[in-house]
Structure 1
Amino acid sequence: MSHRYVGGCEHVRTWSDHDPIDNHTCHCSVCKRVTGQPTTHVVFFKHGDLHGVNEHNMNRQPFNSENPDGPLELCTCKTCGAPIMLDDKQHRIRVIVPNLMGYPPAGMPATYHAFYDPKTGVPKPADGRPVHEGLRPDFVWPQAS
């Protein structure tokens, strides 16, 4: 069966037939530290909309090493070590980073810049997409599934 969005690695596949609830380019220090990228394309799905095949083959560790009790866990493949997704322990969202988690980025482009902080000295993005100090103002966290 084919699905609208498919990613993961050869050992743990993830998929969704539902559109993401948020797509942004993240400028936060945690994403920079975890990915090693200056900005990170981040895609949120409702927790119940992103499914995994062989989820038992995932290791889970805190996403933010400076806040190990935070809600997000980085899930990586036990076999190959590939990053698979971020899983919310509160069951609100599941998050993918397309270029690191096996998804084609063009299929779900970022629509704005999130967590931009001018105090970092990085020039404000000028690609025409809105720039926010946090998530977009109209973003509403989904209920836990």
Structure 2
Amino acid sequence: MSQHKYQGGCAHVKVYSDAEPIDNHECHCNVCKSVTGQHTTHVVFFNHGDLKASNEGAMKRVPFNANNPDGPLEICLCTECDGVLMLDDKQKRIRVAVPNVMNYDPAPGPATYHAFWDETKGYPKPNDGRPVYAGLRPDFVWPKGA
């Protein structure tokens, strides 16, 4: 049984939130594909202060995008076991969970839309009834950073 509404991480560092996510999508971007090895990736954004780690001192950080190592997102890994814990935004706007990679139990509900899909992907446009966008959903507003 979980102590928090949403919880993931590894045996050494728990990542958790009692707040609702601000975005929940199925990502089709090439960076997610290269990092996870998945065709699409269920991605959940939280306000930066809403997703916490039990021991941030036990996290090492690596660039999320190998082609943009100075970009805003970093992958946080456990220093003990290299477990993937979260994506952290250096601008302190969001923190990101990938429920199936970061061992979430319970996990935020299913993605509500498809993001970053385009015709050059080489596969048909998703037709599962969820909206499909070339970027994030049009009404998404980035939170203010620190």
The bucket for the TM-score relative to the shorter chain is: over 0.9
Distance 1:127 1:108 in 2: 16
Aligned-residue sequence identity (percent) comes to 66
Report the number of matched residues.
145
Letter in 1 for 2:89: D
CA distance in 1, matches of 2:64, 2:107: 25
Separation in 2 of the partners of 1:81 and 1:123? Answer: 35
Cross-structure match for 2:91? 90
Amino acid of the structure 1 residue aligned with 2:63: P
How far is 1:109 from its partner?
Answer: 1.2
Alpha-carbon spacing, 1:82–1:96, altered in 2? closer, same or farther (3 Å): same
* Counterpart Cα distance in 1 of 2:82 and 2:109: 24
Distance 1:98 1:63 in 2: 16
Greater CA drift, 100-109 or 112-121: 100-109
Aligned residue in 2 for 1:128: 129
Contact 1:99 1:105 in 2 (8 A): no
Structure 1 residues not aligned, in runs of 5+: none
Aligned letter for 2:67?
E
TM-score normalised per structure 1 = 0.96
Q: Which runs of 4+ in 1 moved over 3 A?
A: 104-107
Q: Give the root-mean-square deviation of aligned CA atoms.
A: 1.3
Contact between 2:9 and 2:102, CA under 8 Å: does it hold in 1? yes
Cα distance, 1:122 vs structure 2 = 1.0
Shift of 1:105: 7.2
Partners of 1:144 and 1:106 lie apart in 2 by 25
Q: Tell me which residue corresponds to 2:9.
A: 8
Map of 1:18-97 to 2, 5 A cutoff? 18-97=19-98
Offset of 1:108 from its aligned partner?
Answer: 2.0
Query: In the alignment, is the contact (CA less than 8 A) between 2:28 and 2:40 conserved in 1?
Result: yes
Contact 1:50 1:94 in 2 (8 A): yes
Are the equivalent residues in 2 in contact too, given 1:21–1:44 (CA < 8 A)? yes
Aligned to 2:110: 109
- TM-score normalised by structure 2 residue count: 0.95
Indicate conservation of the 8 Å contact 1:76/1:82, yes or no: yes
